A = this chain, B = another copy of it.
Amino acid sequence: MTPDSAPRRLVRAEAVLAARRRDVTLVLEDVLDRHNISAVLRTCEAFGIQDVHLVACTETPAEINPAVAIGAERWLTVHRHDGVPSAIATLRSHGYRLYVGHLSPEAIPLATLPREGRAAYAFGSEHRGISPAWLAAADGRFVIPTTGFTGSLNLSVAAALVVYDRLCVAAPSPAGAGDLEPDEIAELRAAWYEMLAHGSAAVAGKYKTHLQNPPVSERLFPIDRNQT
């Protein structure tokens, strides 16, 4: 089976896989607006962030608005936590530094936050902001500097600016390159190939034959600010 004979959607899946990354993740704590949650998922998926953490401290679980997320959640690993302690323990155990968006004197501009290593960027609820538990655990607080009367950004906008700043501006590694380990890629590949069969057992069977020898794919967009 040569790559040339692979279905186009598998070639595309390989390109997406090759750009997938876990060094940046977003955490939404008690975010209740479905539009915001869905827009964040869509942005993360579009930019190749594989993991999003939804932390519920209230009884209302986070919901997704399909019209805004347009299916992005299917390609993401969405981690749901019932409280802050388990979310923090999970992230710490996987080597993440914790940064928290917070309007306070100690907060430093997003652009000056260190970019090395794994980092989770947490946003609190639209109404109450981030909880004291996150603040206490955080390695740093950041702010997106603004100059207008409007003191705060829409949550989905702030999250998108964090994603863009971290991945497309501050990234020390070649932007657009993924960082998943081979076993992580293999696991996602198996799940994605099955989803791409859209419920057809025949197609799924055909796609399975490509799992051991997946098509080779160029990265989709080698983003390089210096490449004009």
Chain A contacts to B: CB under 8 angstroms: 12-13, 15-16, 19-20, 35, 39, 42-43, 45-48, 68, 70-72, 75, 109, 111-112, 145-154, 156-157, 160-161, 164-165, 168-169, 176, 219-221, 223, 225, 227-228
Contact = CB atoms under 8 A, between A and B. Distances in A.
Contact of A149 (B16, B152, B228): B16
B46 A148 contact: yes
Nearest to A175: B145
Contact of A225 (B16, B71, B112): B112
Given A71-B150, A72-B149, 19 more contacts: A12-B149, A13-B149, A20-B147, A39-B156, A42-B153, A43-B153, A45-B148, A45-B150, A46-B150, A46-B151, A48-B146, A75-B148, A75-B149, A109-B221, A112-B228, A147-B176, A154-B156, A157-B160, A164-B165
Contacts of A75: 148-150
A175 to B, nearest CB: 9
Contacts of A168: 111, 145
A15 to B, nearest CB: 8
27 contacts: A15-B147, A16-B147, A16-B149, A19-B148, A35-B35, A39-B154, A39-B156, A42-B150, A42-B153, A42-B157, A43-B154, A45-B149, A46-B151, A47-B146, A71-B149, A75-B148, A145-B168, A145-B176, A145-B220, A146-B220, A147-B176, A147-B219, A156-B156, A157-B160, A160-B160, A160-B161, A164-B164
A211 B71 CA distance: 53
Nearest to A154: B39
**Residue among A145, A150, A165 facing the most chain B CB atoms (10 A cut-off):** A150
A19 B71 CA distance: 39
